[in-house]
Structure 1
Amino acid sequence: MNQYKQNALQTASPGELTMLLYNACLTFIKKGRLAIEEGDAEARNKFVSRAQDIIRELMVTLKTDSEVGQSMLQMYDFIHHRLVEANINNDAKALDEAEQFVADFRDTWKEVIKLDRQQRHNEGGQI
């Protein structure tokens, strides 16, 4: 299984890697929420910190030379801030808010990948 995952990561497009990051972030947020519900501060910190790391990675790799990129950076910064608040204050509401934004980004990104594939497929079939 690890070999399969490693191969999938090595052959993934940048768009697919971004999708994997969004999905991993959502997984860590869900695990963080469960840790909050169970009163497990160590697990909460572990999982919410991992979600924070993913958002920071998305921020660092984001192209900010356009208005859209600048807006996304501001949204990532907001998500990161809510994750920090959730972790420090054991705040499930802040975690839920961050999760909703990440899910929205993921769903939008999924559509972008789908449209890109359709466009490339259609262009490839033309002579």
Structure 2
Amino acid sequence: MTYSPRPDAYLDASVATASPARLLVMLCDRLVLDLTRGLEAQRTGDFSTAHTQLLHAQEIVLELRASLRTSDWEGGPGLASLYDFLHLELVRANVTRDAGTTEGCLGLVTDLAATWREAAMQTVADR
């Protein structure tokens, strides 16, 4: 008999052992994935799938916003505003089924994910 772990066991272990910087990058990467899937679903008229993907994206943005300590660094309030804006746009994109709004959010999130990835790599390099 062969042992077969749960399909998400690797992901669970990755999350449990990840540094805060790595967790942030993982969340941002998942946010990009959700928006990519949501946008494709909107474009093909699969609004049920789009809704599910955009809701998950909204949850991630809310988590990023809730975990942000705005007083810890100079850019905190600006990033908080970006997260608030992004959340409102994702809600609007979902309610109105507007692929253009979703596409705009995807562009923002893609840039944000790249920035956090670069910052995390820099943190590792500085150690």
What is the TM-score of this pair, normalised by structure 1?
A: 0.90
Counterpart AA for 1:30 = T
Mapped to 2, the partners of 1:64 and 1:75 lie a distance apart of: 12
Q: Counterparts of 1:69-108 in structure 2 under 5 Å?
A: 69-108=76-115
Percent identity of the aligned residues?
A: 30
Q: Counterparts of 1:34-49 in structure 2 under 5 Å?
A: 34-49=40-55
**Alignment correspondent of 1:13:** 19
Higher RCO, 1 or 2 (CA under 8 Å, sep at least 6)?
Answer: 2
- Is there any run of 5+ residues in structure 1 with no aligned partner, and where? 121-127
Task: Describe the SS at the equivalent of 2:69.
Answer: coil
Please tell me the root mean square deviation across aligned C-alpha atoms, in Å: 1.0
Counterpart AA for 2:89 = R
**Alignment correspondent of 2:121:** 114
Mapped to 2, the partners of 1:25 and 1:18 lie a distance apart of: 11
Runs of 4+ deviating beyond 6 Å: none
Measure how far apart 1:35 and its partner are.
1.2
Mapped to 1, the partners of 2:60 and 2:117 lie a distance apart of: 17
The alignment status of 1:53 with 2:51, answered yes or no, reads no
Task: Describe the SS at the equivalent of 2:120.
Answer: helix
Mapped to 1, the partners of 2:9 and 2:95 lie a distance apart of: 36
Mapped to 2, the partners of 1:101 and 1:30 lie a distance apart of: 12
Mapped to 2, the partners of 1:70 and 1:98 lie a distance apart of: 19
Measure how far apart 1:60 and its partner are.
0.3
Corresponding pairs, count = 120
- Is there any run of 5+ residues in structure 2 with no aligned partner, and where? 1-6
What is the TM-score of this pair, normalised by structure 2?
A: 0.90
Mapped to 1, the partners of 2:11 and 2:110 lie a distance apart of: 22
